[in-house]
Structures are given as structure tokens and as C-alpha cells.
Amino acid sequence: MPTFSSRNNSSRNEDTVKQNFEVAKYLQRIMELEEQLQVANKTIDELNSKLGEVTINNSRLSDNLNEKSKDLYTKCVENDEFMVYYTRFSNHSFQTMFEASLPVKEHNNCALDLRRQFFVMLLKIALNFGFRDLAIRFNVSRYTVSDYFHKWIGIIHDRFFSKVIFWPTKEALLKTMPMCFRGGEFENTTAIWDCFEIQTDTPHTPSDQAGSFSYYKQRPTDKILISITPQGTVNFVSNGFCGRVSDKHVVIESNILDKLQHGELILADRGFPLEDVVATRDAKFKVPPFMKDKKQLSEQETEETRRIANVRIHVERVIGAIRTRFKILKGPININFLKNVEVDKSFVDKIVKVCCIFSNLLPSVVPLD
């Protein structure tokens, strides 16, 4: 018969085995949990990596969305190349001109701030975007765009025309006279004249259609006299005339003759038979020789024509540059722009003069050397 001691040992052995079994179960469970933890950590790492990729993609999408939501003005302010393309001016020049235009009265309920209004005006004259196009670009009505355009053309014209478009003295011109004018028969040149025409919409009445029809352009036009200095800056711009009138009539009616002073030399094309008229102002007038009844010019007359053409061509270059820089002058001009906004001035007159103002603020196309 087992003794009490042996029974007690047996019980202890059973307890030990049982404890060892439980410990083994716990150790196995711990190993399983550690394996699950490793899998979970790996999964977390993968999710964190994917989260990082998603965050980067969201940031890119957000940047793209912000970029797309920027209006044209903001994009141009952030990129000088854009500003030059859309307005012809750098950001610095744009800001300088805008600030020089202040102060400007503004209503509290304006759809666009003053800088954007000024920007819209430049877009219109530089690239001739339609009012509806500009309205869509800036999320306003076309009537609002039209109002801004009219307002800022008036502001620039009234504040800067007399300061930027003026008739310099002979002494001032001689200091910077281009080499092709110096030391010869053209040294006293103070101005080169020419007329250019802008196509307009066809007027409604037959009489206006006949008066505006240009035989040279074979369409309705508005004719403007422009005068430039030898340096290539505009020093006079007339109001517009009906395309049918002669260049001589435009010169006489534009009052440019009142600008002439003693001894000044004016160059022009053959379409300006004004020697006698200019002589009454004690100035000189030179145009290429006329053919008249001749079959051809003499050798001396041909050489004179060449010499005059070599210097007179600068006015054509300036006119060409103005038309290229400000596409609104290529027309056709809206018939409503031909209505008078002042006693003797139509809105298109102001547009042309504003384009000439801006042209004088840009680099000249006439070389000084």
C-alpha cells in the first residue's frame, strides 16, 4: 500500500506536469502573437507607405487644382514671360504704369479689383480678345468688361497723352539724333509724317458708307495722321477721319501745322503735296520726286528718292510696330467705337492715342547707331 509520502510526491509530479503544459501553451501563444504582431507591423508599414503615396498624390492634385483655379492675371504676375506676352509689358512696367494711374475712383461692388481692370484693358488692346472672351476668363459679364475697358482707356488717355505724346525741340532732338540723319540734308528733321488706316465695321447709312470707304484699302476705314521723331517716338497723333478724305486734308484739319517752327524739316511720302502750306509756317517739307508726265525719274531724282526712303521708312516701321504690338488696331473696329465721346473725339481716337502712349513707353524700333 502506497504511503502518504509517495502519494504526495505523485500529486506534486502531476501538478508540475500540468504547470509545464500550461507554460508551454502560453509560450506557444506568445510565439503566435509575436508572429501576428510581425505580420501586423508589416501591414502597417505597407499601409504607411501607401498613405505617403496617397498624401503626395493629393498634394499634387491640390497644387494642380490651385494652379487651374488661378485667373490669368495671377498667372501673369507669377510669370514675367506671360505678362509680356499678354500685355507687352514686364511685371515691373505693369505695376509702374498702374501706380502712375492712381488714384482711381472705385465702387464698393466692383467685380474686379483695379489691377485686374487695368490688366483687362491691356489684354483687349494687345491681343484684341472679344468682350465675351474676357468675360468668361474673369467670370464677369461682358458689359462689365466693356465698362472697365472704356473707363481705363479714358483714364490713360486723359492723364498721359499730353505728357507722353509731345513735340520736342530741335535742340533736344539733335542730342540723340540717329546716325542716318546726321551730317547731311536730313540733320534738321524734326518729324516724319504718314497716315494709316484702320478697318471699321460697315456703317449703317449709305452716306456714311460712302464717306468712310477708302479707295486705297477698298473697305471702310478710319484714317489717322501720325508723326514720329527721327528717334522713332510718336510726337503727334490726329483724331480719326473718314477713309475717303485725302492725306492733305487730314494734315490741314488735324492742326499739326500749328506745331511747326522756324527751320524745321518735315519728311513725308508723295501723298502729301504740302510744300507751299508748310512753307507758310517757315518750315521745310521734303517728299520723294513726282513722276508727273515723265516715263521714269532721272538718275539724280532716283538717288534723291532712295535717300529720302532710307530715312522716311522709320515712320512705317513705327506704325507697323504699333499695329503688331496692339492688335486692336488691325480692326475691324466696332461701329459703336466710332461714336463721339467728346465734342470732336470718338472712342476709337482715344484707343489709337493710348496705343501710341504705350508704344512710346516700349523700346523704339529705330536704331540710334
Q: How many domains does the chain have?
A: 3
Q: What is the pLDDT of residue 217?
A: 87
The set of cell numbers assigned to 36 is: 501576428
pLDDT tens for 154-164 read 999 999 999 99
CATH of the domain at 353: 3.30.420.10
Q: What is the pLDDT of residue 301?
A: 76
For residues 39 and 101, state if they share a domain: no
Q: Which of 104, 130, 163 is the last residue of a domain?
A: 163
Q: For residues 167 and 259, is the Cβ–Cβ distance under 8 A?
A: yes
10-residue averages of pLDDT along the chain (369 residues):
58 72 80 84 85 72 56 95 97 96 82 95 97 95 96 96 95 90 88 95 87 88 96 96 93 94 91 88 87 67 83 93 96 89 90 98 87
pLDDT tens for 112-137 read 999 999 999 999 999 999 999 999 99
Per DSSP, the residues of 4-57 read HHHHHHHHHHHHHHHHHHHHHHHHHHHHHHHHHHHHHHHHHHHHHHHHHHHHHH
The set of cell numbers assigned to 319 is: 506704325
Q: Please check whether residue 208 lies inside any domain of the structure.
A: yes
Do β-strands 219-228 and 234-237 pair in parallel, antiparallel, or remain unpaired? antiparallel
For residues 204 and 338, state if they share a domain: yes
Q: What letter would DSSP give residue 148? A: H
In 3D space, the residue among 201, 174, 168 whose CA is nearest the CA of residue 188 turns out to be: 174
Residue 318 three-state SS: helix
| Domain extent for 79 | 72-163
Q: Please check whether residue 221 lies inside any domain of the structure.
A: yes
Phi, psi (rounded to 5 degrees) for 47: -65, -40
For residues 285 and 173, state if they share a domain: yes
Per DSSP, the residues of 66-134 read HHHHS-HHHHHHH-HHHHHHHHSS-HHHHHHHHHHH------TT-SS-HHHHHHHHHHHHHH---HHHH
For residues 127 and 243, state if they share a domain: no
